[in-house]
Structure 1
Amino acid sequence: MSDFASIGLITSGAFVNQELVAEFGLLPPAFLPLGVGRLYDMQIDSLQKNSTETTLLYMTVPESFDVPAYDIQRLHEKGVTLLPVPDDMQLGEAVVYAINVINAYNTGIRILHGDTVLGHIPEQFDVIAGHTEGDDYSWAVIKHCDNNIVGLETFKATSEQDTENTVACGYFSFSSGADLVRAISQVRGGFIDGINKYLQHRPMKMEEIQDWYDFGHIQTYFRSRRLVTTTRAFNSLQITRDTVRKLSADTFKMNAEAEWFEKVPPKVQPYTARLLEKGDQGKRAFYSTEYQYAPNLSELYVFSTIGRVSWKKILTSCAEFLEICARIPGDKPRDDYSRQLLGSKTVERLERFAKETGFDIEHELIYKGGQMPSLLEIGHQLENAVSFDPAASSTIMHGDFCFSNILYNSRNSRISVIDPRGYVFSEKCEIYGDFRYDIAKYSHSVDGLYDFIIAGRYDLKQDGPYSFDLNFDTSSHRQWLQAAFSEMSIAGVSVASAEIRAITTSLFISMLPLHSDRPDRQRAFIANALRLYSTFEGKI
C-alpha cells in the first residue's frame, strides 16, 4: 500500500431501512437513485475532489446484493474496488473485515458512510466530521472540548428534547489502520465503542461541516435530494422546502405550462402538481408548484429494485390519468393536432440533423449485423404509419408524459405529473391535443428506454458511422414491466399497436437535432430507433 497516501472506504455493506425499501426496493445506501445517477457518484466525486493525496477507493456492499453489470463497470472506471461483506455484519466488523482484506494497516483510512454526502471532506487524519442536528433520529453525539474529541455516545432524541447536539455526520478519518482494527476488535466489533477505544491512544479532532446531506431515512433522503438539486440547478429552477419555481426567458412556454395546470378540470387535478403562483421576474416568466417529496418514475425504472406489486400500482395510476384525459374532449378535431404534432416533423428534423452533422440520412444502415433502411426511408415509413382521422375528437393532452415528468407517491399509490407542454400550435396556450402522443411518450420511456440513454446506462458499439449495435443491462423487473405494459389498452388504443410504436420510434429520430451538444447521445438515439424499428419492421 506504499503507493497510496490513504485508503477511502465507503461503507455500504447493509441494505437500506424498511421505509426506503418501500420506496426504492432492496438497495445498499450508496446505490440509492439521485437524479440521473446513484448516490455513489456524488460520494466518489467528493472524496476524490477534496483529497490532496492519492487515495485508493473501496466500497463495501452486502454479499447477497447482485450488483448490476453497468455499475460494476462504472465503479471500475471510477477506480473503486467492491468489497462484498456478509449481510449480517455490524458496521465495525465490516470495517475490520475491509481493512484486513485490503491489508491497509500502515496507512490512513478515510471512512464515508454509504448514506452520506458532504460538501467538504476534511483533509487531516484523526478527524470526525460533525454537524449540529435536531432531527428525531438516533445519532452518535460528539462530546468535545474546543474541538478536541472526548468521546462519542449514541443519543436518541425524545419528545422532551429541545436542544441540538453536534452529531457525527458520517465521515471519519484515522491515521492508523492497525490501531483502528485493534480498537474495534477489543470492543467486539462495535464501531462507536471502537472509536472511543481508539481515542485512548490517538487524539482526534472534530471538524464542523455545514453541507451535510443525509440519505439514510425517508425524511432526510428527500430533504437532502432537494438540497443537492438546488445546489446543482441552474437559475432556471429555484427550489425551497415547499416550492419549485421554474423560470425562463421563453415567456410563452412558461405561461403555457402554468395555464395547463390552471385549466385542467377537477377530475385531472389529483394527478397533477399543485400550481401556487405564476408571474414575471424581470424579462423572464415563472410559475411555482408545490415541492413533492416523491421520486420520479425515471429514477425508479433505472435505479430502483421495487417489485411487481409497486409497478402494477404505478401502471394503474398512469392508465387512470390517461383515461380521464381521454374522456374530456376538446373543441377541435384531433386531426389538426395530429398533423401539427406528428405530420412531417420527423423528416424535417432528420434533414436538420443531416445539415448540422453531415450524417448521410439516405445511407443504408446496419443494426446488429442486419441490413436496415436509411434514416430517411425509416422516417417516411413512420410518418405513413400514423393515421390522421378528422372525425376523431381531440382530448386533454399532457404533451410530455415521460417518466422524468411523472412523480409517484407510494403512500397514496398515485402519480403526479409535472412539466406539461401546454400548447400544440405556436403562441396558443391550450390543454388539448392528440392523446396518442401521450401514450407514445409513455412507451418512449417503458419500451424506448429513453431514461437509460439519458443516464448513460447503455453499451453502444459501432463498426463505422452507419453500423450500430446497442445493448442495455438485462433486468427481470424491466422485462416483466415491458410485457405488462404491452398488454395494456388505454382509451381503446393498444400501447403495442403498430401506430403507437411508430410514433414512439419517430420520437427518437425527431429529437436528434435537439441534442447537438451530445454526439454520443445522438448516436445512441439512432441505434435505439433502429432497435425499435427492427421489432415491428414490415408491420407498418
Structure 2
Amino acid sequence: MKIIIPSAKLVPEDLQSLGKLPAIVYPVNQKIVFDYLYDEYKGADFRVVDFENAPIVHRRLNNYKVNILDLDKLGDLGMTIYQGLKDVDGEGIINFADTIVEDNISGIAGDAFYYSKDVTSSTWTFFTDEKGRITNIVDKKNSNNSNVEKLFVGVFKFSNLTFFRECLKHAFMADKLEIDTFYYALKLYSQKYPFKVIRAQNWFDIGHADKYFSSQIEVKAREFNHIKIDKNRGILTKTSDGVDKFIGEIKWYLKLPNDLEYTRPRIFSYSTSYTKPYVSMEYYAYHTIHELFLYGDLSEKQWIDIFKRIEFVCKDYSRYSVNDSTKIKEALEEMYLTKTITRLQTLQKDKHFKNFFDSPINVNGKQYKSLNEIIDILKEEIPKKLYDVDHFNIIHGDLCFANIMIDNNNNFVKLIDPRGKFGAFDIYGDSRYDLAKLCHSLDGKYDFIIKDLFKINYDINNAIINYTINDRVRDFDLYQVFTDVFKNEINGDLKKIELIESLLFLSMIPLHGESLEQQLVMLGTGLNLLNRSVNILA
C-alpha cells in the first residue's frame, strides 16, 4: 500500500511556539505525527512531500523507511499531491500530515474517505455528497449560517491513483477555481469512483491549535493504561502497579512546602492505600522539555529562558535543607555505590554482557577496562569523590526532560513523576543528583537513546561498541548554554555531576532489557562519561 503524505507547509503560527515545524514532524505526546502514521500503516510504502523547512523533515525521518520528495516550489495542496503521485499507480492512501485517524482505512475495500461534522466556518473544507459522489465543496470560506455540515478530515483511499492524477491535471487547467485543485479533482474522481463516506471515530487533528491540544489529551489518555483524563474538568487521574514507588511519588507531592507547590500540579484527591493508590491532579496540555529537545526547533534565547525557569525552581528548592551526617552518608552510599554495583551485578547475569565483564571494552575506538575492573575502581572512587556532602536539599529526584512541563510562552514550569525517595529521605536528597538527571538528557542524550535515535554496530563476543547519536544540528552549543545558566548551582562541581551522570547510565542498563542496542549505547555512553572523571582507560 502506498501512503502519500503532503507536508509542504509549516504548522499555523499559533502552533509555532516549538519552532517553524512542518506538521509531519510536529510532536504529539512525546512522539511525532509520523510515528503514529508509521504505526497505523505498518509495512506500507511511504512518501512524504515537503517544502518549507525541508531539512528538518529529512533529519527527523532519517531512521525511518520513507521516501522524502522535496518540492522545487510551493503550490496549492493539489500540486503538492500531484508531485507526490509521480510514478505511482494502483491503489493508495493520501493522508494529510496534520491528521491522525486510528480507524484503519487501509482495511476498507475500494474508494473511501473519512469525514466529521462541525458548524460551517473558514476552518474546514465542507462538502455534500449523494451516494459517495461529491456534489458540492465549500473550501475554508466564512459562512453566515450556523449549520452543522460534513467536513473532510484528511484521509482518502483511492483504488486508481493513476486516474486521480489525471483528475488533478484537469483541475490545473480549470478556470477561476474557488476551491483547491485537490478538492476539484476529488469531486471529479468521485463521479467515476464513488467513495464510501465514513464518519471518523478516532480523529486527532494536529493542524489547528484548539483541536491540537484536545488531541494531545485524547492521545495521552489512550496510550497510558494507568492514566484517565477528564477533559471537561481538566483532571488527570493516575494509578500504578508499582505501588511502593507510586506512593512515594504521591507523598512527595503532598510534602512539598506550601510556597513550593507552584512547581507541581494541583492535587484534588488521592489515596496512599497499598490496595489501590491513586492521585487526581490538574491536567496541563503543556509540552515536556523532552518534546522540545527532540522535536522542537528552538532558538538559543528560548533555551536560555527555559533553563532559567528550571534553574529558578532548583534554587528555590535549595532554600530548604536538612543536616544529618550519618543518614546523609548512608543515602549517598545507597544511591551512588550500592545501587550501581547491584545493577551491574544484575547485568553480569545477562549472557549478552559476559565478555564486557571479562575483557577490555572498545567504545568508538577507545579501549576501557573490563566492567569487573571498573566495579573495583568505583568502590574506591565513589566514596572519595561523592561523599563530601553535609546537607541535603529538597529535590525532585527524577528531573529528566520527560518530567518537566513548560507552557507555550516558556514562563511556567510544572514538575511531574518525582522519585519520592533518596535513600532513607523522601523529598530531600543530593541536589547534584537533579543536575545529573538534567545532564543525562542534555549531555548523555538519554532522550535520543530511548527513542532509538542512534546508529550502532557492535560485536558482543569481543566487547566492541561503535555508535553515534542522531543529535540535533544547532548553531549553538546547548550543553554550554545549560552550564552557563546553571553556573551557580554547579558551583565548580561539574566533574562530580558528570560522574553521577555516568552512574545513572551504568545503573539503568539492566532496566532496558527489551532492547540490546539501547543497552549497549547506554553502556558506551556511561563509560565515556565515567572516563571524564575517573581514568578507566585500559
TM-score by length of 2: 0.88
Q: What is the distance in 2 between the residues matched to 1:277 and 1:137?
A: 42
Alpha carbons 1:488, 1:495 under 8 Å: kept: no
Alpha carbons 1:276, 1:289 under 8 Å: kept: yes
Q: What is the distance in 2 between the residues matched to 1:247 and 1:71?
A: 33
Q: Tell me whether 1:395 sits opposite 2:393 in the alignment.
A: yes
Match of 1:477 in 2: 474
Q: Go from structure 1 to structure 2 and tell me whether the alpha carbon gap of 1:131 and 1:434 turns closer, same or farther (over 3 Å shift).
A: same
Alpha carbons 2:448, 2:470 under 8 Å: kept: no
Aligned counterparts, 1:341-490, within 5 A: 341-357=335-351, 359=354, 360-379=356-375, 380-381=377-378, 383-384=382-383, 386-389=385-388, 392-411=390-409, 413-425=411-423, 430-465=426-461, 466-477=463-474, 480-489=477-486
Q: What is the distance in 1 between the residues matched to 2:168 and 2:120?
A: 31
Q: What is the distance in 2 between the residues matched to 1:37 and 1:190?
A: 32
Q: What is the distance in 2 between the residues matched to 1:480 and 1:200?
A: 57
Instruction: Give the match's secondary structure for 1:448.
Output: coil
Cα deviations across residues 48-100 of structure 1 (Å, max 9, x unaligned)? 48xxxxx6431111164214666444232xxx21111145321111112222x
Match of 2:2 in 1: 7
Residue 446 of structure 2 aligns with an amino acid whose one-letter code is Y
Q: Go from structure 1 to structure 2 and tell me whether the alpha carbon gap of 1:412 and 1:516 turns closer, same or farther (over 3 Å shift).
A: closer
Match of 1:180 in 2: 167
Match of 1:251 in 2: 243
Match of 1:39 in 2: 33
Residue 389 of structure 1 aligns with an amino acid whose one-letter code is D
Match of 1:108 in 2: 91
Which deviates more from structure 2 when the two are superposed, residues 283-292 or residues 138-147? 138-147
Match of 1:310 in 2: 302
Pairwise CA distance, 1:507:
0.5
Alpha carbons 2:317, 2:393 under 8 Å: kept: yes
Match of 2:525 in 1: 528
Q: Go from structure 1 to structure 2 and tell me whether the alpha carbon gap of 1:254 and 1:94 turns closer, same or farther (over 3 Å shift).
A: same
Residue 58 of structure 1 aligns with an amino acid whose one-letter code is R
Instruction: Give the match's secondary structure for 2:357.
Output: coil
Match of 1:238 in 2: 228
Cα deviations across residues 408-450 of structure 1 (Å, max 9, x unaligned)? 1123522211001112246x7x311111111111111110110
Pairwise CA distance, 1:37:
3.3
Pairwise CA distance, 1:322:
0.6
Instruction: Give the match's secondary structure for 1:267.
Output: helix
Aligned counterparts, 1:226-305, within 5 A: 226-234=217-225, 236-241=226-231, 242-279=234-271, 283-305=275-297
Q: Percent identity?
A: 22
Alpha carbons 2:10, 2:53 under 8 Å: kept: no
Q: Go from structure 1 to structure 2 and tell me whether the alpha carbon gap of 1:272 and 1:87 turns closer, same or farther (over 3 Å shift).
A: farther
Alpha carbons 1:508, 1:525 under 8 Å: kept: yes
Match of 1:3 in 2: none
Q: Tell me whether 1:88 sits opposite 2:74 in the alignment.
A: yes
Residue 252 of structure 2 aligns with an amino acid whose one-letter code is W
Q: Go from structure 1 to structure 2 and tell me whether the alpha carbon gap of 1:25 and 1:327 turns closer, same or farther (over 3 Å shift).
A: same
Instruction: Give the match's secondary structure for 2:517.
Output: helix
Structure 1, unmatched stretches of 5+, are 1-5, 50-54
Cα deviations across residues 118-149 of structure 1 (Å, max 9, x unaligned)? 11243244433101245976101121345553
Q: Tell me whether 1:169 sits opposite 2:169 in the alignment.
A: no
Counterpart pick for 1:144 among 129, 135, 138:
129
Match of 1:18 in 2: 13
Instruction: Give the match's secondary structure for 2:117.
Output: strand
Alpha carbons 2:269, 2:280 under 8 Å: kept: yes
Q: Tell me whether 1:117 sits opposite 2:112 in the alignment.
A: no
Q: Go from structure 1 to structure 2 and tell me whether the alpha carbon gap of 1:486 and 1:493 turns closer, same or farther (over 3 Å shift).
A: closer
Q: Go from structure 1 to structure 2 and tell me whether the alpha carbon gap of 1:205 and 1:230 turns closer, same or farther (over 3 Å shift).
A: same
Instruction: Give the match's secondary structure for 1:361.
Output: helix
Which deviates more from structure 2 when the two are superposed, residues 197-206 or residues 209-218? 197-206
Q: What is the distance in 2 between the residues matched to 1:178 and 1:115?
A: 22
Q: Tell me whether 1:335 sits opposite 2:329 in the alignment.
A: yes
Structure 2, unmatched stretches of 5+, are none
Pairwise CA distance, 1:491:
5.1
Q: What is the distance in 2 between the residues matched to 1:487 and 1:143?
A: 59
Q: Go from structure 1 to structure 2 and tell me whether the alpha carbon gap of 1:368 and 1:75 turns closer, same or farther (over 3 Å shift).
A: closer
Counterpart pick for 1:513 among 498, 504, 510:
510
Q: Tell me whether 1:127 sits opposite 2:133 in the alignment.
A: no
Q: Go from structure 1 to structure 2 and tell me whether the alpha carbon gap of 1:486 and 1:315 turns closer, same or farther (over 3 Å shift).
A: same
Pairwise CA distance, 1:117:
0.8
Q: Go from structure 1 to structure 2 and tell me whether the alpha carbon gap of 1:68 and 1:470 turns closer, same or farther (over 3 Å shift).
A: farther
Q: Go from structure 1 to structure 2 and tell me whether the alpha carbon gap of 1:401 and 1:280 turns closer, same or farther (over 3 Å shift).
A: closer
Q: What is the distance in 1 between the residues matched to 2:371 and 2:211?
A: 47
Match of 1:193 in 2: 184
Q: What is the distance in 2 between the residues matched to 1:135 and 1:441?
A: 49
Cα deviations across residues 329-352 of structure 1 (Å, max 9, x unaligned)? 135344343233223321222112
Q: Go from structure 1 to structure 2 and tell me whether the alpha carbon gap of 1:385 and 1:246 turns closer, same or farther (over 3 Å shift).
A: farther
Alpha carbons 1:247, 1:285 under 8 Å: kept: yes
Q: Go from structure 1 to structure 2 and tell me whether the alpha carbon gap of 1:280 and 1:266 turns closer, same or farther (over 3 Å shift).
A: closer
Instruction: Give the match's secondary structure for 1:142.
Output: strand
Match of 1:211 in 2: 202
Alpha carbons 1:275, 1:287 under 8 Å: kept: yes
Alpha carbons 1:141, 1:168 under 8 Å: kept: yes
Higher helix share: 2
Pairwise CA distance, 1:474:
4.3
Match of 1:52 in 2: none
CA RMSD in angstroms, aligned pairs only = 2.8
Q: Go from structure 1 to structure 2 and tell me whether the alpha carbon gap of 1:478 and 1:387 turns closer, same or farther (over 3 Å shift).
A: farther
Instruction: Give the match's secondary structure for 1:284.
Output: coil
Q: Go from structure 1 to structure 2 and tell me whether the alpha carbon gap of 1:180 and 1:230 turns closer, same or farther (over 3 Å shift).
A: farther
Residue 320 of structure 2 aligns with an amino acid whose one-letter code is I
Q: Go from structure 1 to structure 2 and tell me whether the alpha carbon gap of 1:461 and 1:223 turns closer, same or farther (over 3 Å shift).
A: same
Alpha carbons 1:505, 1:532 under 8 Å: kept: yes
